[in-house]
Structure 1
Amino acid sequence: MATETHGSEPVSACVDAGGSAVGMPQLCGDWIGNQVFWLVITLVVIYFVLARIALPRIAAVLAERQGTITNDIAAAEDLKRKAQDAEAAYDKALADARAEAQVIAQKARDDIKADLGDAIAKADAEIAAKAVESEKAIAEIRDSAMAHVETVAKDTAGAIVAALGGAADDAKIANAVDAQLKG
């Protein structure tokens, strides 16, 4: 070994006669070659462990995450497209419903106008019939009144002549009233 001593002489400049290291052994110039050799071996082993075991696992995890993210983005875009399609279908259905409501309302207005026109025509016909009946009744009353006017006029004229002290002759009174009524 490097720290063994053979007699009283030191084996190396880095070790004293008692076998103890002088200063920091890492900085001993006699051991630099040995330290570099083991450093290279250690770095090669670490490199192979990282390259063959750790880095492939990390790469697999990163690839899996990237795949998951890509799938999630694709699913989100698909859902967004479906939502837009659903919104378009909803807007179309709403527009169709409004158009149908307008058609129904217009049909109801037209039906009401037609019914109102029929009712007005019926009412006009009833009013016209009642007007004709009323005109007949008025004509009958007028004719009846005219017939009674002559009688009333003759009676009144006879009463006036009698009140004035004269003798009333029915024939003369009737001729006088008829002359006045004829014009």
Structure 2
Amino acid sequence: MPQLDFGNPLLIAQIVWLLIIFGLLYYVMSTYALPRVESVLEERRARIAADLAAAQAAKAEADSAMAAHRDATAKARAEAQSSIASAMQQAQAEAAARGEELNKRLSRQIEEAEQRIGAARDAAMGALRQVSLETAESLVAKVAGGADRGRLEAAVDRALAARAG
């Protein structure tokens, strides 16, 4: 291999120039290029760290917003349940009041009907007494020829009282 020909007098000069160029390249790289690369890497590291911190802050804010939303939802549910219960109680109270009013009206109508029935019964009983008295008087007059009006009235009253009781 020609590169390893150590007997060549130019080999020493090539090695010296290699060391000089390598040293010069090392100096330029360590002085100018590597600090710039390092600053770019550090800037990227800082930006990533800031982005991560912002993401964590946004996550914490989102978590707190979600918790607030859950709390608001629970509160709204509780208020809705309370409103529903209140409306149910109000509706039941109104229904009870209407029921009481209806019961009072029906009771009043029943009492009025009972009074009318009683009056009609009394009128019917009066008419029945009169018809019974006339019928008994005519029967006794046909059978016996004549009747005592007072005794017939007493007999009819006893008979009606026995049927009524």
TM-score, normalised relative to structure 1? 0.75
Give distance in 2, aligned partners of 1:24 and 1:136: 145
Deviation at 1:134, TM superposition (A): 1.4
Mark the runs of 5 or more structure 2 residues left unpaired by the alignment: none
The equivalent residue for 2:110 is 131
The count of residues paired between Structure 1 and Structure 2 equals 159
Q: After the TM superposition, which of the residue ranges 54-63 and 72-81 deviates more from structure 2?
A: 54-63
Task: Indicate the percent of aligned positions where both proteins have the same amino acid.
Answer: 33
Structure number with the higher helix fraction is 2
Mark the runs of 5 or more structure 1 residues left unpaired by the alignment: 1-22
Give distance in 2, aligned partners of 1:87 and 1:79: 12
Question: Is residue 36 from structure 1 mapped to residue 11 from structure 2 by the alignment?
Answer: no
Q: Deviations over 1:79-123 (max 9, x none)?
A: 101100110110011011001111111111111121112111111
Deviation at 1:181, TM superposition (A): 2.5
TM-score, normalised relative to structure 2? 0.83
The equivalent residue for 2:30 is 51
Taking structure 1 as reference, are residues 57 and 98 closer, same or farther at Cα in structure 2, changes over 3 Å only?
A: same
The equivalent residue for 2:69 is 90
For 2:114, what is the secondary structure of its paired residue?
Answer: helix
The equivalent residue for 2:79 is 100
1:1-183 equivalence runs, <5 A: 24=2, 27-29=5-7, 30-157=9-136, 166=143, 169=146, 171=149, 173-174=152-153, 176-183=155-162
Structure 1 segments of 4 or more deviating over 3 A?
Answer: 23-26, 155-162, 165-170, 172-176
User: Is the contact between residue 158 and residue 168 of structure 1 (CA under 8 Å) also seen in structure 2?
Assistant: no
Indicate the structure whose relative CO is greater, using CA pairs within 8 Å and at least 6 residues apart: 2
Give distance in 2, aligned partners of 1:47 and 1:151: 150
Give distance in 2, aligned partners of 1:77 and 1:84: 10
Give distance in 2, aligned partners of 1:26 and 1:59: 38
Pick the structure with greater CA Rg: 1
Give distance in 2, aligned partners of 1:90 and 1:73: 25
